[in-house]
Structure 1
Amino acid sequence: MLSEKYKFKNSLFNQKSPVIKSIIFSSLLIGLLFAFLLDLALGSVSIPIHEVINILLGQEPEKATWANIILKFRLPKALTATLAGAALGVSGLQMQTLFKNPLAGPFVLGISSGASLGVALVVLTASAMTPTLLADLGIISDFGLVIAASLGAALVLGMMLVVSRRVQETMTLLILGLLFGYATSAIVSILLQFSSKERIQSYIMWTFGSFSGVTWKQLIVLIPVIVLSLLTAVLQSKSLNALLLGESYARSLGLTVQKTRFSIITSASILAGVITAFCGPIAFLGVAIPHLCRSLFMTSDHRMLIPSVIIMGAILALIADLFSQLWVSQMVLPLNAITALIGTPVVTWVILRRNSQKSFPS
C-alpha cells in the first residue's frame, strides 16, 4: 500500500500537465545552453557571444587570441563544470532516496570527506607524484586518483548505509555523517604533518574547489566515467521509485533490494568521487539541486527527476563558476564559497519546510 507521503507526492505530480512539464524542461535546456555560452564569454577577458559561437563552429574570430582562450582554457572548464554539476546533483538525489533523508548529499553525509581522504593518501604519500596536484599527471595517475577518491567515497557511504539501518532519526544520522567527516579530516591532518610543503600547498588549493584545473587530457578520463555513471543512474529510475515505497513493497515488485542498494552506492560513489578527485570537494550542490527540481516539477518520479537534475546541476555549476570569476577583477574566488552561497538558502528552506509538513517519503 502506498504511504500517505507518497500519495501526497503523486498528487503534486499530477498538478502539472505533460505540456507544462515539457515547457519547463525545454526552458532548462535553453538555460543550460545560455549558461554554457556565458561561461565561455565572460572572464578576465570578455568575448562577444557571437564570436564564441564562431570559434566553436571552427570559424576565425576577430582576434586570434580569443580562439586560444576559448579552446585551451574556457571550454575544458565549462565542460568540467557541466559534468560536475550533473554528477553531484544525481549523486545527491540517489542518496536522498536511498537514505530517505532530504538533507543527504555527498558533502553533508561525509562522502566528499571520504573521497578527499582517498585523494590525500595519493597526493600526500605517493613518492613518485609531482608537487602539483593534477597539472603534470598522466592518464594512469588520473585513473589512480579516480579509483582512490571513489573507494574513499564508497567506504564512507557504505558505513552510513549500515548506520542508517540502525538509526531512525534524521538528525542523528546527519550528526554521524558529520562525525565520519571529522574522522577522515583528522586522518588527513595527520598526513599533512608528514608531507612536504609543496604537497601541502597543492592539497590545500585543491580543497578550495575549482573547475579550471582539468585539462583536455584529463577530460578523456572524466567524460566517459561520468557519462556511464549518469546512464547507470537513469537505468536505476524504476528501482529508485520502488525504494520510495519501502523495501518490503520493492521486494513485492520483484526487486532485489541488496543488489539495487549496491548498484546505487557504486553509482553515487563514483559520481561524487570522480568529481572530488578532479575538482575538489564541491559543497552543497548535491543537496540543493534535487530539491530545486522536486519543487520545479512537483514530482518524486525519478524518470523525470534524474534528467532534470542533470540539467539543473549543470546550470548551477556553470553559474557558480561565473560568479567565482566576476566578483573580483583578475582573481578567481574559491568555488566552495560560491556553492555555499547558492546551497545554504535551499538547505535552510528544506529544514524550515519540514517543520510545517513532512514532505519526504520515510
Structure 2
Amino acid sequence: MRALRPATVAAIAAATAVTAVSGCAAKNDGKGGSDKGTIEVTASDTSCELSAKEFPAGHVRFAVQNKGSKVTEVYVYASGDRIVTERENIGPGTRTEISAEIKAGSYEIACKPGMKGDGIRQKVTASGKGGATKRDPKLDAAVAAYRKYVQDQADQTLPAARKFADAVKDGDVEAAKKTYALSRVGWERTEPVAESFGDIDPKVDVRADGLEKGQKWTGWHKLEKSLWEEKKISGDDKKLAAQLITDLKDWQKRVGKAEITPTSMANGAKELLDEVATGKVTGEEERYSHTDLLDFHGNVEGAEKAYELLKPVVAKNDPALAKELDKQFKAIGGLLDEHRDSKSADGFASYETVDKGERKKLSDGVNSLGEPLSKLAAAVAGAK
C-alpha cells in the first residue's frame, strides 16, 4: 500500500524529477502545451485542471504537469472508483505522461497532492467507439496470458496465506514470522490489478499511516506489527487472520474478471516500480519485519512479466526501448541477487542489514528502470 510518511514524500520528490521530465520531454513544448489530442492535466496543491472534459474513446494520452509544492499522483476512475490507470510520484515542477485505453463512458480524474485521500476530482466523458478498435492479435494474446498469470498468482497465494493465518490462529509467533513474507509474493507481483477493484487493497495491505478516517486496521501489516513489534498474538489477531483469508478469497474470485488491456498491463508494470520506489527501497512497507527485499523482488517479477508478454509488439514499435528495458531488468535483477540469503526463510537478507550505500544503489537501479518503463504504454499504443 502506498501511503507515505511526510519525510518519504519529500525524499522522493528529487528522485522523481529527472524521471518525470526525461520521460515526457519529447511530448511537451516546454510552454505547457502538448501534442494534439493529448489531454493536459495541470495539478497543484489545491486544483486539478483539465484541457478537456470530453474526448474520444480509445487510446488516450494524459500530459500531467505538477505545479504544486507536494508530490502528487493522478488517477482515472471508472464507476465505483475502479482504477483504470494511475501514475504516482509526480514531483513538484515535473511533467509525465500516461497512455491508457479508455472505453466510452463516464469517468473521474483525480489529482492527489501529498498522495493521500480521495483527491481533487473532475468528471470527464469518453465518447464514440474508439475503445472497440481491433488491435494487434499479439496484444490480445498478451492480455490473455497476463489474465492467466494474475489468476495463477491469486490461486497460489491462498495456500501460502493459509499457512500464515493458521500459524497466527495457533498462536505460534515463530511459525507465523517464517510464513509471513512468503504469503505476500503473489499479491506483490500483481498488486495493480488487485488495487483496481478499490476495496480489497485497503482491507489486506494498508499500513497504519495509510488508514482513512474511521477505518479499522486489518490485513497483513497489522499482523506484522503484532508479530515483530509486540512479539505476541492476541485474540483479535487470530480474528484478523481469519478475515485476511476471507478477503483474499474475494480477491481470488474477482481477479479473473478484472478489466485488463495492453496499456493497463504496461501502466501496471510502472506502478509496480513506483511501489518499489516509495515503499520497498525506503523500508516503509515492511517496517516491522524488514522483509522488504522479497516484496521488492515480487514487484520487479510482476513488472517484468507484463513487459515480456508485451515485448513482441514493443520490440516492433520501439526496438531501442525494448533493448533498454532488457538491459535494466537484468541490472536490477543482479542488484537483488547481491542480497540473497539462503539461511533466511524468504531467501533474502533482512533489510535492516542493507546499509545506506547499498540502498542508494538499489534506488538508482529502480530509477534507471523506471524511466524507460514509463514509456512502455506509449510503445504498446504504437507511439514513440
TM-score, structure 2 as length reference: 0.36
Which structure features the higher share of helix residues?
1
RCO comparison, higher one (Cα < 8 Å, 6+): 1
Which structure features the higher share of strand residues?
2
TM-score, structure 1 as length reference: 0.37
